[in-house]
Structure 1
Amino acid sequence: MTVPAFGLGTFRLKDDVVIASVKTALELGYRAIDTAQIYDNEAAIGQALEESGVARRDLYITTKIWTENLSKEKLIPSLKASLQKLRTDYVDLTLIHWPSPGDAVAVEEYMQALLEAKKEGLTREIGISNFTIPLMERAIAAVGAEQIATNQIELSPYLQNKKVAAWAKAHGIPVTSYMTLAYGKALEDEAIARIAAKHHATPAQVILAWALALGYAVIPSSTKRANLQSNLQAQQLTLDEEDMNAIAALDRNERLVSPEGLAPQWD
Protein backbone atom coordinates (compact mmCIF):
# COMPACT_ATOMS: atom_id res chain seq x y z
CA MET A 1 0.00 0.00 0.00
CA THR A 2 1.53 3.29 -1.08
CA VAL A 3 -1.06 5.45 0.68
CA PRO A 4 0.17 6.12 4.25
CA ALA A 5 -1.73 4.06 6.81
CA PHE A 6 -2.26 7.06 9.06
CA GLY A 7 -3.21 10.58 8.03
CA LEU A 8 -5.06 13.69 9.12
CA GLY A 9 -8.57 14.35 7.88
CA THR A 10 -9.72 17.96 7.44
CA PHE A 11 -13.43 17.62 6.60
CA ARG A 12 -15.48 20.49 8.10
CA LEU A 13 -12.35 22.33 9.28
CA LYS A 14 -11.78 25.78 7.76
CA ASP A 15 -9.68 28.94 8.02
CA ASP A 16 -7.75 29.37 11.28
CA VAL A 17 -9.18 26.13 12.69
CA VAL A 18 -7.74 23.98 9.90
CA ILE A 19 -4.46 25.91 9.93
CA ALA A 20 -4.05 25.19 13.65
CA SER A 21 -5.05 21.52 13.26
CA VAL A 22 -2.60 20.91 10.39
CA LYS A 23 0.28 22.74 12.08
CA THR A 24 -0.24 20.88 15.36
CA ALA A 25 -0.52 17.54 13.57
CA LEU A 26 2.72 18.18 11.68
CA GLU A 27 4.48 19.10 14.95
CA LEU A 28 3.31 15.78 16.40
CA GLY A 29 4.63 13.79 13.45
CA TYR A 30 1.71 13.47 11.03
CA ARG A 31 2.87 13.68 7.43
CA ALA A 32 -0.25 12.72 5.43
CA ILE A 33 -2.95 15.38 5.02
CA ASP A 34 -6.32 14.69 3.37
CA THR A 35 -8.43 17.48 1.87
CA ALA A 36 -10.87 18.03 -1.02
CA GLN A 37 -11.98 20.78 -3.36
CA ILE A 38 -15.43 20.92 -1.75
CA TYR A 39 -14.00 21.33 1.78
CA ASP A 40 -13.07 24.89 0.82
CA ASN A 41 -9.89 24.67 2.92
CA GLU A 42 -7.15 23.91 0.39
CA ALA A 43 -5.76 27.47 0.53
CA ALA A 44 -5.66 27.46 4.34
CA ILE A 45 -3.95 24.05 4.31
CA GLY A 46 -1.46 25.34 1.73
CA GLN A 47 -0.63 28.19 4.09
CA ALA A 48 -0.24 25.82 7.06
CA LEU A 49 2.01 23.45 5.11
CA GLU A 50 4.22 26.29 3.89
CA GLU A 51 4.50 27.90 7.33
CA SER A 52 5.21 24.55 9.02
CA GLY A 53 8.64 24.32 7.43
CA VAL A 54 8.20 20.58 6.77
CA ALA A 55 9.88 19.69 3.46
CA ARG A 56 7.43 18.97 0.62
CA ARG A 57 9.10 15.64 -0.10
CA ASP A 58 8.21 14.48 3.45
CA LEU A 59 4.51 15.23 3.02
CA TYR A 60 1.74 13.14 1.46
CA ILE A 61 -1.07 15.41 0.31
CA THR A 62 -4.40 14.07 -0.91
CA THR A 63 -7.14 16.11 -2.55
CA LYS A 64 -10.38 15.12 -4.27
CA ILE A 65 -12.03 16.31 -7.47
CA TRP A 66 -15.57 17.60 -6.93
CA THR A 67 -18.43 16.31 -9.07
CA GLU A 68 -18.82 19.54 -11.08
CA ASN A 69 -15.19 19.21 -12.22
CA LEU A 70 -15.35 15.62 -13.48
CA SER A 71 -15.56 16.29 -17.23
CA LYS A 72 -12.37 15.94 -19.23
CA GLU A 73 -12.49 19.69 -19.95
CA LYS A 74 -12.65 20.63 -16.27
CA LEU A 75 -10.78 17.98 -14.30
CA ILE A 76 -7.17 19.00 -15.00
CA PRO A 77 -7.81 22.79 -14.79
CA SER A 78 -9.58 22.25 -11.45
CA LEU A 79 -6.65 20.18 -10.15
CA LYS A 80 -4.23 22.92 -11.23
CA ALA A 81 -6.34 25.40 -9.24
CA SER A 82 -6.12 23.07 -6.22
CA LEU A 83 -2.33 22.90 -6.57
CA GLN A 84 -2.17 26.67 -6.60
CA LYS A 85 -4.21 26.87 -3.39
CA LEU A 86 -2.12 24.13 -1.76
CA ARG A 87 1.09 25.98 -2.82
CA THR A 88 2.61 22.91 -4.41
CA ASP A 89 3.53 21.69 -7.90
CA TYR A 90 1.90 18.30 -7.36
CA VAL A 91 -0.24 16.33 -4.92
CA ASP A 92 0.62 12.80 -3.92
CA LEU A 93 -2.89 11.46 -4.43
CA THR A 94 -5.95 12.74 -6.29
CA LEU A 95 -9.27 11.01 -5.80
CA ILE A 96 -12.60 11.22 -7.57
CA HIS A 97 -14.61 12.41 -4.54
CA TRP A 98 -17.98 10.98 -5.60
CA PRO A 99 -19.03 9.21 -8.77
CA SER A 100 -20.84 11.54 -11.17
CA PRO A 101 -24.51 11.81 -10.08
CA GLY A 102 -26.75 9.98 -12.51
CA ASP A 103 -23.65 9.03 -14.51
CA ALA A 104 -23.76 12.53 -16.06
CA VAL A 105 -20.04 12.16 -16.74
CA ALA A 106 -19.01 8.59 -17.52
CA VAL A 107 -16.61 6.81 -15.16
CA GLU A 108 -14.39 6.12 -18.18
CA GLU A 109 -14.11 9.82 -19.03
CA TYR A 110 -13.05 11.08 -15.63
CA MET A 111 -10.80 8.15 -14.79
CA GLN A 112 -8.90 8.67 -18.05
CA ALA A 113 -8.69 12.43 -17.36
CA LEU A 114 -7.33 11.62 -13.90
CA LEU A 115 -4.76 9.27 -15.42
CA GLU A 116 -3.76 12.07 -17.80
CA ALA A 117 -3.23 14.35 -14.78
CA LYS A 118 -0.88 11.71 -13.38
CA LYS A 119 1.01 11.49 -16.67
CA GLU A 120 1.40 15.28 -16.62
CA GLY A 121 2.95 15.07 -13.14
CA LEU A 122 0.16 16.97 -11.38
CA THR A 123 -0.47 14.01 -9.08
CA ARG A 124 1.75 11.09 -8.13
CA GLU A 125 -1.12 8.66 -7.66
CA ILE A 126 -4.83 8.51 -8.44
CA GLY A 127 -7.79 6.85 -6.79
CA ILE A 128 -11.50 6.87 -6.05
CA SER A 129 -13.87 7.56 -3.18
CA ASN A 130 -17.40 6.38 -2.40
CA PHE A 131 -17.26 3.82 -5.23
CA THR A 132 -19.46 0.74 -5.15
CA ILE A 133 -18.43 -2.62 -6.64
CA PRO A 134 -20.01 -1.90 -10.09
CA LEU A 135 -18.30 1.50 -10.15
CA MET A 136 -14.95 -0.04 -9.16
CA GLU A 137 -15.38 -2.53 -12.01
CA ARG A 138 -15.80 0.35 -14.46
CA ALA A 139 -12.85 2.27 -12.99
CA ILE A 140 -10.63 -0.81 -13.34
CA ALA A 141 -11.79 -1.34 -16.92
CA ALA A 142 -10.96 2.32 -17.68
CA VAL A 143 -7.44 2.59 -16.24
CA GLY A 144 -6.43 -0.75 -14.69
CA ALA A 145 -6.50 -1.76 -11.02
CA GLU A 146 -2.76 -1.08 -10.69
CA GLN A 147 -3.47 2.63 -11.25
CA ILE A 148 -6.01 2.89 -8.41
CA ALA A 149 -4.12 3.66 -5.20
CA THR A 150 -7.19 3.46 -2.94
CA ASN A 151 -10.97 3.54 -2.64
CA GLN A 152 -11.80 5.88 0.25
CA ILE A 153 -15.09 4.77 1.77
CA GLU A 154 -17.16 5.30 4.89
CA LEU A 155 -16.18 2.49 7.22
CA SER A 156 -16.65 2.23 10.98
CA PRO A 157 -17.53 -0.41 13.59
CA TYR A 158 -21.19 0.30 12.74
CA LEU A 159 -20.71 0.22 8.94
CA GLN A 160 -18.01 -2.34 8.23
CA ASN A 161 -18.66 -2.38 4.50
CA LYS A 162 -17.25 -5.92 4.34
CA LYS A 163 -18.55 -6.76 0.86
CA VAL A 164 -16.97 -3.69 -0.76
CA ALA A 165 -13.74 -3.97 1.26
CA ALA A 166 -13.35 -7.66 0.41
CA TRP A 167 -14.00 -7.03 -3.30
CA ALA A 168 -11.50 -4.17 -3.37
CA LYS A 169 -8.86 -6.30 -1.64
CA ALA A 170 -9.44 -9.20 -4.01
CA HIS A 171 -8.87 -6.85 -6.96
CA GLY A 172 -5.78 -5.17 -5.53
CA ILE A 173 -7.37 -1.87 -4.47
CA PRO A 174 -6.40 -0.73 -0.94
CA VAL A 175 -9.15 0.76 1.23
CA THR A 176 -9.01 4.04 3.12
CA SER A 177 -11.59 4.37 5.88
CA TYR A 178 -13.29 7.69 6.54
CA MET A 179 -15.76 8.44 9.35
CA THR A 180 -13.97 5.61 11.19
CA LEU A 181 -15.22 6.84 14.57
CA ALA A 182 -18.80 7.15 13.23
CA TYR A 183 -18.95 10.90 13.96
CA GLY A 184 -17.90 10.06 17.51
CA LYS A 185 -20.89 7.76 18.10
CA ALA A 186 -18.69 4.66 18.32
CA LEU A 187 -16.66 6.31 21.11
CA GLU A 188 -19.67 5.81 23.41
CA ASP A 189 -20.04 2.10 22.64
CA GLU A 190 -19.88 -0.18 25.68
CA ALA A 191 -18.02 -2.98 23.88
CA ILE A 192 -15.39 -0.50 22.68
CA ALA A 193 -15.13 0.98 26.18
CA ARG A 194 -14.45 -2.48 27.65
CA ILE A 195 -11.66 -3.13 25.13
CA ALA A 196 -10.21 0.33 25.82
CA ALA A 197 -10.16 -0.32 29.58
CA LYS A 198 -8.50 -3.70 29.04
CA HIS A 199 -5.66 -2.11 27.04
CA HIS A 200 -5.46 1.17 29.04
CA ALA A 201 -6.28 2.91 25.76
CA THR A 202 -8.87 5.42 24.56
CA PRO A 203 -11.96 4.29 22.62
CA ALA A 204 -10.66 6.22 19.58
CA GLN A 205 -7.35 4.36 19.75
CA VAL A 206 -9.19 1.03 19.87
CA ILE A 207 -11.32 1.84 16.81
CA LEU A 208 -8.39 3.17 14.79
CA ALA A 209 -6.24 0.16 15.78
CA TRP A 210 -9.08 -2.13 14.65
CA ALA A 211 -9.23 -0.47 11.21
CA LEU A 212 -5.43 -0.53 10.87
CA ALA A 213 -5.37 -4.23 11.84
CA LEU A 214 -7.77 -4.95 8.98
CA GLY A 215 -5.35 -3.28 6.58
CA TYR A 216 -7.23 -0.03 6.07
CA ALA A 217 -5.67 3.43 6.02
CA VAL A 218 -7.32 5.90 8.42
CA ILE A 219 -7.63 9.72 8.37
CA PRO A 220 -9.16 10.86 11.69
CA SER A 221 -9.48 14.59 12.27
CA SER A 222 -9.32 16.65 15.44
CA THR A 223 -8.83 20.23 16.49
CA LYS A 224 -7.42 19.27 19.91
CA ARG A 225 -3.72 18.63 20.38
CA ALA A 226 -4.31 15.89 22.99
CA ASN A 227 -6.64 13.98 20.64
CA LEU A 228 -4.31 14.38 17.66
CA GLN A 229 -1.46 12.95 19.72
CA SER A 230 -3.58 10.18 21.25
CA ASN A 231 -4.99 9.13 17.85
CA LEU A 232 -1.48 8.83 16.45
CA GLN A 233 -0.61 6.35 19.21
CA ALA A 234 -3.28 3.95 17.92
CA GLN A 235 -0.56 2.65 15.61
CA GLN A 236 1.18 1.09 18.63
CA LEU A 237 -1.95 -0.67 19.93
CA THR A 238 -2.37 -4.35 19.09
CA LEU A 239 -5.81 -5.86 19.57
CA ASP A 240 -6.26 -9.59 20.15
CA GLU A 241 -8.68 -11.93 18.39
CA GLU A 242 -11.31 -11.53 21.09
CA ASP A 243 -11.21 -7.74 20.66
CA MET A 244 -11.45 -7.96 16.87
CA ASN A 245 -14.40 -10.36 17.10
CA ALA A 246 -16.19 -8.10 19.59
CA ILE A 247 -15.87 -5.15 17.21
CA ALA A 248 -16.88 -7.30 14.21
CA ALA A 249 -20.13 -8.03 16.06
CA LEU A 250 -21.01 -4.30 16.18
CA ASP A 251 -21.69 -4.08 12.44
CA ARG A 252 -25.23 -2.85 11.77
CA ASN A 253 -24.91 -1.32 8.31
CA GLU A 254 -25.42 2.15 9.78
CA ARG A 255 -24.39 4.60 7.09
CA LEU A 256 -23.95 8.22 8.16
CA VAL A 257 -22.87 9.76 4.83
CA SER A 258 -25.33 9.35 1.96
CA PRO A 259 -26.12 12.75 0.44
CA GLU A 260 -29.31 12.80 -1.58
CA GLY A 261 -28.66 13.27 -5.27
CA LEU A 262 -24.98 12.43 -4.81
CA ALA A 263 -24.78 8.97 -3.27
CA PRO A 264 -24.70 6.00 -5.65
CA GLN A 265 -26.86 2.89 -5.23
CA TRP A 266 -24.95 1.37 -2.29
CA ASP A 267 -23.93 -2.31 -2.36
Structure 2
Amino acid sequence: MKTVTLNNGVKMPQIGLGVWQVEDEVATDSVKKAIEVGYRSIDTAAIYKNERGVGKGIKAAGVPREELFITTKVWNEDQGYESTIKAFEESLERLELDYVDLYLIHWPTPKKDTYVETYKALEKLYEDGKVRAIGVCNFEIVHLQRLLDECSVKPVLNQVECHPYLGQHELKTFCDENEIFLEAWSPLMQGGDVLNDDTIKNIAEKYGKTPAQVVIRWHLDRHSIVIPKSVTPSRIEENFDVFDFELTDDEMTSINDLDRNERKGPHPNDLND
Protein backbone atom coordinates (compact mmCIF):
# COMPACT_ATOMS: atom_id res chain seq x y z
CA MET A 1 0.00 0.00 0.00
CA LYS A 2 1.49 3.31 -1.09
CA THR A 3 0.99 6.19 1.34
CA VAL A 4 1.30 9.95 1.08
CA THR A 5 2.37 12.25 3.89
CA LEU A 6 -0.17 14.96 4.72
CA ASN A 7 0.93 18.46 5.67
CA ASN A 8 0.68 17.63 9.40
CA GLY A 9 2.98 14.61 9.05
CA VAL A 10 0.24 11.97 9.16
CA LYS A 11 0.56 9.22 6.56
CA MET A 12 -2.54 8.34 4.51
CA PRO A 13 -3.02 5.52 1.99
CA GLN A 14 -3.15 6.96 -1.53
CA ILE A 15 -6.04 4.69 -2.49
CA GLY A 16 -9.12 3.90 -0.41
CA LEU A 17 -12.61 2.48 -0.66
CA GLY A 18 -15.49 4.92 -1.07
CA VAL A 19 -18.96 3.84 0.15
CA TRP A 20 -21.24 6.58 -1.19
CA GLN A 21 -24.71 5.19 -2.05
CA VAL A 22 -23.88 1.87 -0.39
CA GLU A 23 -26.56 0.52 1.93
CA ASP A 24 -25.59 -0.08 5.54
CA GLU A 25 -25.58 -3.89 5.43
CA VAL A 26 -23.82 -3.99 2.07
CA ALA A 27 -21.17 -1.59 3.39
CA THR A 28 -20.23 -4.13 6.06
CA ASP A 29 -19.37 -6.78 3.47
CA SER A 30 -17.67 -4.30 1.10
CA VAL A 31 -15.46 -2.86 3.84
CA LYS A 32 -14.51 -6.32 5.11
CA LYS A 33 -13.65 -7.46 1.58
CA ALA A 34 -11.62 -4.33 0.84
CA ILE A 35 -9.56 -4.70 4.00
CA GLU A 36 -8.94 -8.37 3.16
CA VAL A 37 -7.73 -7.32 -0.31
CA GLY A 38 -5.29 -4.82 1.19
CA TYR A 39 -7.12 -1.51 1.40
CA ARG A 40 -6.41 0.37 4.61
CA SER A 41 -8.40 3.54 3.94
CA ILE A 42 -12.21 3.71 4.10
CA ASP A 43 -14.19 6.86 3.27
CA THR A 44 -17.73 7.33 4.59
CA ALA A 45 -19.95 10.24 5.69
CA ALA A 46 -22.87 10.92 8.00
CA ILE A 47 -25.21 11.56 5.05
CA TYR A 48 -24.37 8.17 3.52
CA LYS A 49 -26.30 6.52 6.37
CA ASN A 50 -23.86 3.62 6.47
CA GLU A 51 -21.41 4.51 9.25
CA ARG A 52 -22.76 1.64 11.38
CA GLY A 53 -22.18 -0.79 8.53
CA VAL A 54 -18.68 0.54 7.98
CA GLY A 55 -17.92 0.11 11.67
CA LYS A 56 -19.14 -3.47 11.58
CA GLY A 57 -17.01 -4.18 8.51
CA ILE A 58 -13.94 -2.81 10.27
CA LYS A 59 -14.57 -5.07 13.25
CA ALA A 60 -15.25 -8.11 11.06
CA ALA A 61 -11.99 -7.65 9.16
CA GLY A 62 -9.99 -8.07 12.36
CA VAL A 63 -7.17 -5.73 11.39
CA PRO A 64 -5.61 -3.63 14.19
CA ARG A 65 -7.25 -0.19 14.33
CA GLU A 66 -3.93 1.62 14.05
CA GLU A 67 -3.36 0.06 10.61
CA LEU A 68 -6.55 1.65 9.24
CA PHE A 69 -7.34 5.16 8.06
CA ILE A 70 -11.02 6.06 8.52
CA THR A 71 -12.62 9.20 7.08
CA THR A 72 -16.06 10.61 7.73
CA LYS A 73 -17.75 13.97 7.15
CA VAL A 74 -20.09 16.51 8.72
CA TRP A 75 -23.23 17.08 6.67
CA ASN A 76 -24.55 20.50 5.61
CA GLU A 77 -27.47 20.71 8.04
CA ASP A 78 -25.09 20.08 10.96
CA GLN A 79 -22.73 22.93 10.09
CA GLY A 80 -21.96 25.42 12.87
CA TYR A 81 -19.59 25.09 15.82
CA GLU A 82 -21.64 23.27 18.46
CA SER A 83 -23.69 21.25 15.99
CA THR A 84 -20.53 20.04 14.26
CA ILE A 85 -19.07 18.83 17.57
CA LYS A 86 -22.34 16.99 18.26
CA ALA A 87 -22.46 15.50 14.76
CA PHE A 88 -18.90 14.24 15.13
CA GLU A 89 -19.67 12.46 18.40
CA GLU A 90 -22.69 10.82 16.77
CA SER A 91 -20.58 9.63 13.84
CA LEU A 92 -18.00 8.24 16.25
CA GLU A 93 -20.74 6.32 18.10
CA ARG A 94 -22.13 4.84 14.90
CA LEU A 95 -18.67 3.79 13.74
CA GLU A 96 -17.91 2.36 17.19
CA LEU A 97 -14.48 3.98 17.13
CA ASP A 98 -12.51 6.02 19.65
CA TYR A 99 -11.26 8.43 16.98
CA VAL A 100 -11.30 8.97 13.23
CA ASP A 101 -8.23 9.61 11.15
CA LEU A 102 -9.77 12.33 8.98
CA TYR A 103 -12.84 14.54 9.47
CA LEU A 104 -14.11 16.66 6.61
CA ILE A 105 -16.66 19.39 5.89
CA HIS A 106 -18.82 17.80 3.20
CA TRP A 107 -19.76 20.95 1.23
CA PRO A 108 -18.96 24.65 1.67
CA THR A 109 -22.63 25.71 1.25
CA PRO A 110 -21.45 29.29 0.63
CA LYS A 111 -24.88 30.96 0.86
CA LYS A 112 -25.17 29.72 4.46
CA ASP A 113 -21.68 31.07 5.14
CA THR A 114 -21.04 28.74 8.08
CA TYR A 115 -18.03 26.83 6.79
CA VAL A 116 -15.43 28.90 8.66
CA GLU A 117 -17.26 28.43 11.97
CA THR A 118 -17.64 24.74 11.15
CA TYR A 119 -13.96 24.42 10.32
CA LYS A 120 -13.06 25.97 13.67
CA ALA A 121 -15.00 23.13 15.30
CA LEU A 122 -12.85 20.70 13.30
CA GLU A 123 -9.77 22.50 14.61
CA LYS A 124 -11.03 21.95 18.16
CA LEU A 125 -11.54 18.23 17.51
CA TYR A 126 -8.03 18.07 16.07
CA GLU A 127 -6.50 19.92 19.01
CA ASP A 128 -8.31 17.56 21.42
CA GLY A 129 -6.88 14.51 19.65
CA LYS A 130 -10.23 13.14 18.52
CA VAL A 131 -9.18 13.29 14.87
CA ARG A 132 -5.72 12.87 13.38
CA ALA A 133 -6.29 15.28 10.49
CA ILE A 134 -8.94 17.68 9.18
CA GLY A 135 -9.94 18.84 5.73
CA VAL A 136 -12.75 19.71 3.38
CA CYS A 137 -14.74 18.46 0.41
CA ASN A 138 -15.95 20.28 -2.68
CA PHE A 139 -14.23 23.57 -1.83
CA GLU A 140 -13.35 25.99 -4.60
CA ILE A 141 -10.22 28.13 -4.45
CA VAL A 142 -12.11 31.06 -2.91
CA HIS A 143 -13.38 28.86 -0.06
CA LEU A 144 -9.94 27.37 0.58
CA GLN A 145 -8.29 30.78 0.58
CA ARG A 146 -10.71 32.01 3.23
CA LEU A 147 -9.81 29.07 5.50
CA LEU A 148 -6.12 29.78 4.97
CA ASP A 149 -6.70 33.44 5.89
CA GLU A 150 -9.03 33.00 8.87
CA CYS A 151 -8.17 29.65 10.47
CA SER A 152 -5.04 28.31 12.13
CA VAL A 153 -4.86 24.67 10.95
CA LYS A 154 -4.31 24.14 7.24
CA PRO A 155 -6.64 21.57 5.64
CA VAL A 156 -4.73 18.42 4.73
CA LEU A 157 -6.85 17.73 1.67
CA ASN A 158 -9.77 18.82 -0.48
CA GLN A 159 -11.98 15.97 -1.69
CA VAL A 160 -13.69 16.90 -4.97
CA GLU A 161 -15.27 15.33 -8.03
CA CYS A 162 -12.37 14.60 -10.32
CA HIS A 163 -11.85 12.35 -13.36
CA PRO A 164 -10.28 12.77 -16.80
CA TYR A 165 -13.33 14.68 -18.09
CA LEU A 166 -13.16 16.98 -15.04
CA GLY A 167 -9.44 17.36 -14.42
CA GLN A 168 -9.71 20.19 -11.85
CA HIS A 169 -6.30 21.39 -13.05
CA GLU A 170 -6.46 24.95 -11.69
CA LEU A 171 -7.77 23.77 -8.33
CA LYS A 172 -5.11 21.07 -8.13
CA THR A 173 -2.37 23.61 -8.83
CA PHE A 174 -3.66 25.80 -6.00
CA CYS A 175 -3.83 22.83 -3.66
CA ASP A 176 -0.32 21.71 -4.59
CA GLU A 177 1.05 25.21 -3.97
CA ASN A 178 -0.51 25.21 -0.50
CA GLU A 179 0.44 21.64 0.51
CA ILE A 180 -3.18 20.49 0.34
CA PHE A 181 -3.78 17.13 -1.35
CA LEU A 182 -6.52 16.81 -3.91
CA GLU A 183 -8.60 13.69 -3.26
CA ALA A 184 -10.84 12.44 -6.05
CA TRP A 185 -14.40 11.29 -5.46
CA SER A 186 -16.19 9.68 -8.41
CA PRO A 187 -12.70 9.07 -9.84
CA LEU A 188 -14.06 6.82 -12.61
CA MET A 189 -16.86 9.33 -13.43
CA GLN A 190 -20.48 8.59 -12.58
CA GLY A 191 -21.98 6.63 -15.46
CA GLY A 192 -18.51 5.55 -16.55
CA ASP A 193 -18.45 7.51 -19.82
CA VAL A 194 -14.73 8.14 -19.52
CA LEU A 195 -14.05 4.39 -19.44
CA ASN A 196 -15.26 4.17 -23.04
CA ASP A 197 -12.89 6.88 -24.26
CA ASP A 198 -10.58 5.61 -26.99
CA THR A 199 -7.53 7.27 -25.41
CA ILE A 200 -8.13 5.42 -22.16
CA LYS A 201 -8.94 2.12 -23.88
CA ASN A 202 -5.79 2.24 -26.03
CA ILE A 203 -3.56 2.82 -23.00
CA ALA A 204 -5.35 -0.01 -21.15
CA GLU A 205 -4.71 -2.38 -24.04
CA LYS A 206 -1.01 -1.48 -24.04
CA TYR A 207 -0.59 -2.41 -20.36
CA GLY A 208 -3.01 -5.33 -20.27
CA LYS A 209 -5.15 -3.39 -17.78
CA THR A 210 -8.76 -2.31 -17.68
CA PRO A 211 -9.78 1.29 -18.48
CA ALA A 212 -10.73 1.71 -14.81
CA GLN A 213 -7.24 0.69 -13.71
CA VAL A 214 -5.69 3.19 -16.13
CA VAL A 215 -7.85 6.02 -14.79
CA ILE A 216 -6.99 5.14 -11.19
CA ARG A 217 -3.31 5.05 -12.16
CA TRP A 218 -3.69 8.53 -13.73
CA HIS A 219 -4.94 9.85 -10.39
CA LEU A 220 -2.06 8.22 -8.53
CA ASP A 221 0.57 9.43 -10.99
CA ARG A 222 -0.62 13.04 -10.68
CA HIS A 223 -0.10 12.65 -6.91
CA SER A 224 -3.75 12.73 -5.95
CA ILE A 225 -5.55 10.53 -3.44
CA VAL A 226 -8.31 8.37 -4.88
CA ILE A 227 -11.33 6.56 -3.39
CA PRO A 228 -13.04 4.39 -6.04
CA LYS A 229 -16.36 2.93 -4.92
CA SER A 230 -17.55 -0.60 -5.58
CA VAL A 231 -19.64 -3.24 -3.86
CA THR A 232 -18.58 -5.98 -6.29
CA PRO A 233 -15.75 -8.11 -4.84
CA SER A 234 -13.99 -8.54 -8.19
CA ARG A 235 -14.10 -4.80 -8.85
CA ILE A 236 -12.81 -4.03 -5.36
CA GLU A 237 -9.83 -6.26 -6.20
CA GLU A 238 -9.42 -4.80 -9.70
CA ASN A 239 -9.39 -1.20 -8.47
CA PHE A 240 -6.58 -2.07 -6.05
CA ASP A 241 -4.44 -3.88 -8.64
CA VAL A 242 -2.79 -0.72 -9.96
CA PHE A 243 0.67 -0.73 -8.39
CA ASP A 244 2.52 -2.77 -11.02
CA PHE A 245 2.62 -0.15 -13.79
CA GLU A 246 3.04 3.60 -14.29
CA LEU A 247 1.94 5.91 -17.08
CA THR A 248 4.47 7.75 -19.24
CA ASP A 249 4.58 11.55 -19.37
CA ASP A 250 3.02 11.45 -22.85
CA GLU A 251 0.20 9.20 -21.61
CA MET A 252 -0.42 11.51 -18.66
CA THR A 253 -0.60 14.48 -21.04
CA SER A 254 -3.00 12.69 -23.39
CA ILE A 255 -5.34 11.93 -20.47
CA ASN A 256 -5.01 15.46 -19.08
CA ASP A 257 -6.06 16.75 -22.50
CA LEU A 258 -9.40 14.91 -22.24
CA ASP A 259 -10.64 17.53 -19.76
CA ARG A 260 -14.10 18.85 -20.70
CA ASN A 261 -14.97 20.49 -17.38
CA GLU A 262 -17.83 17.98 -17.32
CA ARG A 263 -19.42 17.54 -13.90
CA LYS A 264 -21.84 14.79 -12.93
CA GLY A 265 -22.39 16.13 -9.42
CA PRO A 266 -23.47 19.65 -8.40
CA HIS A 267 -21.20 22.65 -8.53
CA PRO A 268 -20.11 23.64 -4.99
CA ASN A 269 -21.55 27.13 -5.39
CA ASP A 270 -24.97 25.69 -6.21
CA LEU A 271 -25.42 23.24 -3.35
CA ASN A 272 -26.65 25.03 -0.23
CA ASP A 273 -29.18 22.62 1.35
For normalisation by structure 2, the TM-score amounts to 0.92
1:122 paired to 2:130: yes
Equivalent residue of 1:111, what SS?
helix
Structure 1 residue 157 corresponds to structure 2 residue 164: yes
Counterpart in 1 of 2:79? 70
| 8 Å contact from structure 2 (residues 109, 269) kept in 1 | no
**Matching of residues 104-183 of structure 1 within 5 Å:** 104-105=113-114, 107-144=115-152, 147-183=154-190
Unpaired runs of 5+ residues, structure 2, are 7-11
Aligned residue runs from structure 1 range 1-267, under 5 A:
1-2=5-6, 3-105=12-114, 107-144=115-152, 147-183=154-190, 184-258=192-266, 262-263=270-271
Conservation of the 8 A alpha-carbon contact between 1:98 and 1:262: no
The answer to whether the 8 Å contact 1:80/1:122 transfers is no
1:263 Cα deviation after fit: 3.0
Partner secondary structure for residue 42 of structure 2: strand
Matched residue count? 262
Letter in 2 for 1:194: N
Distance 1:48 1:167 in 2: 36
User: What amino acid does structure 1 have at the position aligned with 2:112?
Assistant: D
Q: Which whole-Å CA distance do the structure 1 matches of 2:270 and 2:96 have between them?
A: 29
Contact in 2 for aligned 1:50/1:87 (Cα 8 Å): no
2-structure distance, mates of 1:109, 1:148: 14
TM-score by length of 1: 0.94
Residues 62 and 262 (structure 1), Cα distance of their counterparts in 2 relative to 1, 3 Å cut: farther
Residue 260 of structure 1 and its aligned partner are, at CA, apart by 8.8
SS of 2:13 mapped into structure 1: coil
| Separation in 1, partners of 2:60, 2:234 | 22
Please state whether the residue corresponding to 1:127 is helix, strand or coil: strand
Counterpart CA distance in 2 for 1:249 and 1:148 is 29
Q: Single out whichever of 255-264 and 149-158 deviates more from structure 2.
A: 255-264
Residue identity matched to 2:248: D
Structure 1 residue 261: deviation in Å? 7.8
SS in 2 for 1:197: helix
Partners of 2:94 and 2:264 in 1: how far apart?
30
AA matched with 2:137: S
- The question of whether the paired residues in 2 share the 8 Å contact of 1:206 and 1:237 is answered with no
Task: Pick the structure with more helix per residue.
Answer: 1
Shift in Å, 1:206: 0.3
Instruction: Give the Cα separation in 1 of the matches to 2:269 and 2:261.
Output: 20
Q: What is the aligned-residue identity percentage?
A: 37
